Structure 1
Amino acid sequence: MATCDLSGRKVLITGGARGLGLKMAETVATQGASVVIADLDAETGAASAAALAEAGHQAAFVHLDVTDDASWEAAMPDVLASLGGLDVVVNNAGIEITELFVDLDPASVRKIMDVNVLGTMLGIKHAFRAMRPEGPAGAGGAVVNIASVAATIAFPGIGAYSASKSAIDRLTRVAAAESGRLGYGVRVNAVCPGLVPNAMGGQLANDTANLGLFGSPDEAVGAVISLTPSGRLATEQDIANGVAFLASDDSAFVNGVSLSVDGGMGM
């Protein structure tokens, strides 16, 4: 695991109860940060935070629906109280629904856009409100959004997901420009992960095979690897390392960019 010094950093990670979000929480905690895991799944989220605390890290859980502004309003005081401030917000919560265009369900598209795009935008909103000079944290900081290699390639079956992640790439740049113009002192960047063989990645491989786009899930995975110069899938640790870098002072002059952690797939 690469290391960045995050000693004393106060970090909120949405969608942190499991999978990639949990690996981010474990990584920043190991590198010295205090962390709040925010998630809809209260049982799993609380258990994940408790496990981090039992391992000797400063960790807590808050219940959060990233699509609901009122939920953000209710959660942020608890986040600030638990952490004693706020330095980093990682907008990781996201969903993927695989569909062919000929079978497109408008409700699925709206759900993806609500969670991935609106959820990220509300995360930026409340990060800015907390970390700008007049906010309750008031010392600036960093926002790290989670986009995807799907923002830069054309992979069949994920039209709505790709659109949502392309939107995150663009809104990251707009948010960085606003923060700079208004003197908030908050850097805004994104990480674009390659395909990770976790629950979401495995489901994508199964779904694309079931839709007839590939002969089998293994063939779908092979197609991704064949497009990746590094010759393998990403690991959760690869992605978490990118998040830690953008949360740290090692990236102090990195702002408004999307960092590809995809083995070159999206180049």
Structure 2
Amino acid sequence: MEVNGGTLTAQSISENATAKVLKSDDGASIAYQAIPGRSPCILFIGGYNSSMAGEKASFLARYAADRGQAFVRFDPFGHGASEGRFEDGTIGRWLADTLRVIDKVVQGPLILVGSSMGGWLMTLAALTRPERVSALVGIASAPDFTEDLMRPSLTGEDRVILRRDGVLRRPSAYGGDFIIAQQLLDEGREHLVLRRGLPIEVPVRLLHGQADPDVPPERSLRLAEAIEGSDVRVTLIKDGDHRLSRPQDLALLANTLDELIKNI
């Protein structure tokens, strides 16, 4: 696998490593980190308001470095080290960032690993760049969450605030504010994937905690049903939470990737 625009050494990949940047069409800097290695490249796509310094992204960087596997992680617009206001982001904008990383940073086949919102983005990316994708791994995948999870959770008062301000802020269980923007809800309708069959034929592995308080396991089951390919497996972790970042969860992720890489 070739990494364009420079690389970081395996030893330097960490939460404190200096990120490279890509420029989006409007000039915003999109931060990424990459290590070269064997094909296929593992591309990690993070969750809503997460960053590439998170536990799963950092674990995957170590996993790839230990095995000599190519790896890329990035922060989409408004996330982590990338430029932009988070509340100005949309599914389409974050998909465009994902595709730019696919097109500009790496060459060759990819295994897309998507966490939460990243599971939606990896699905959209696989539909848009089918020739590049060799396998998908979803972690607490949240396809269509703007329409099916966010919108139904709004109270009458929430809707008034959104109409007035365009943005709603709630306390987050993970620290800081949980932000919902009206344009995110509206634009998200253009990218829904669970209302149709999905012509994805590559191996798909979906991991989901049954104790997930944020994204019901039903999301992964519905995604599996929508995918038209036959090599689709859903693994439910009975006591698993949304993050799936415990040692046993990360070990399951590593085993899942080992199996896919071996058979690609």
> What is the TM-score with the length of structure 2 in the denominator?
0.45
> Which has the larger helix fraction?
1
